[in-house]
Amino acid sequence: MKPLPTPFARRRLAIRWGTALLLPLFLGGCSLQRVAIRAAGGALAAGGATWGSDDDPELVREALPFALKTIEGLLAADPADRRLLLAAASGFTQYAQGFLVPEADYLEESDFARARAERERAGRLLARATGYGLRGLDTLRPGFAAALRDPGRRDTALAGLGPEAVPLLYWTGAAWGARAALALDDPELATDLPLVERLMRRARELAPGFEDGVIHDFYVVWEGARAGTAAGAADRAREALAAARRYAGGRRAAPLVAFAESVAVAEQDRATFTRLLDEALALDAAASGPHRVANLLAQRRARWLLARADDLFLE
């Protein structure tokens, strides 16, 4: 088993997950009440698909809470609707990691108390997202969440999930890992990190090209947090970056920013840091379709990192 991240590495995990996780909401496509609920879910799906291509991230940020509370209201009436569970898991993760955690990073030097409050709120929403994701996986394989925590049943439970589980595997792992990375004083969550990696590993086995390679972004962050402290971690992060580039086809900036902020900083390689961030900024967000919002947020991060370069590099 790979060693658990140190508290410092877990902090680095928390910082870098934000740029990697904002993607379009995933919503799929009896009684009259249930028909109405699922019809509303379909309408949300049609609307959510447009959000990733919006040119105004702040508008998306302001709209997400209403959409998420609407999804929770629908789930209260139909708690086993897998589409809605996926939407809740992905939506709360994206809201927390796409907006709250980066905002906390940007505020930390000027308003530490507010930054801490934003991270605490993000942690609560990520816990909610994790719960929805595990519930969704339970609809595919009853008892999966309990089996995942049982070393004697874990491998069988994971092997029993097929390609239809990939979105839930990814978003559950993303939410759970981000929450653990934020909770530096929670040793129980630290011990959950290997479970997060197992979820992502199964997702990668089933669909390595999922959503233009976002699973590989996770491994850029996961291995990048260990760069300089675990043998081979930086090389594995480079392999993950290469895979992310291959599947993204130049459409996503997040893996470039994540690698620059993790491995390039850990190795004190300012030239690579600058080159990758410049490449991220040169990407035409307007031409990136459903990744537009994610790219705009990643580019904001890239500009912030470049402005802090003198603080990140000793020479």
162-183 per-position pLDDT tens digit: 999 999 999 999 999 999 999 8
Q: What was the pLDDT predicted at 102?
A: 95
Q: How far is CA 63 from the centre of its chain?
A: 19
Is pTM beyond 0.85? Reply is yes
Q: CATH no. for residue 214? A: 1.25.40.920
Across all residues in the chain, what is the average pLDDT? 87
Buried b / exposed e over 34-59, threshold 16 CB at 10 Å, is eeebbebbeebbeebeebbebeebee
Q: Report the distance separating Cα 142 and Cα 146, nearest Å.
A: 9
- The 10s digit of each residue's pLDDT in 270-296 is 999 999 999 999 999 988 888 999 999
Query: Looking at the domain assignment, is residue 259 inside a domain?
Result: yes
Q: Which range marks the domain in which residue 112 is found?
A: 7-312
Query: Looking at the domain assignment, is residue 2 inside a domain?
Result: no
- The 10s digit of each residue's pLDDT in 217-267 is 999 999 998 887 888 999 999 999 999 999 999 999 999 999 999 999 999
Q: Report the distance separating Cα 151 and Cα 183, nearest Å.
A: 24
Query: Looking at the domain assignment, is residue 95 inside a domain?
Result: yes
Spatial CB neighbours of 29, under 8 Å, sequence gap ≥ 6? 42, 45, 83
Q: What was the pLDDT predicted at 228?
A: 76
Q: What was the pLDDT predicted at 11?
A: 52
Q: How many separate domains does the chain show? A: 1
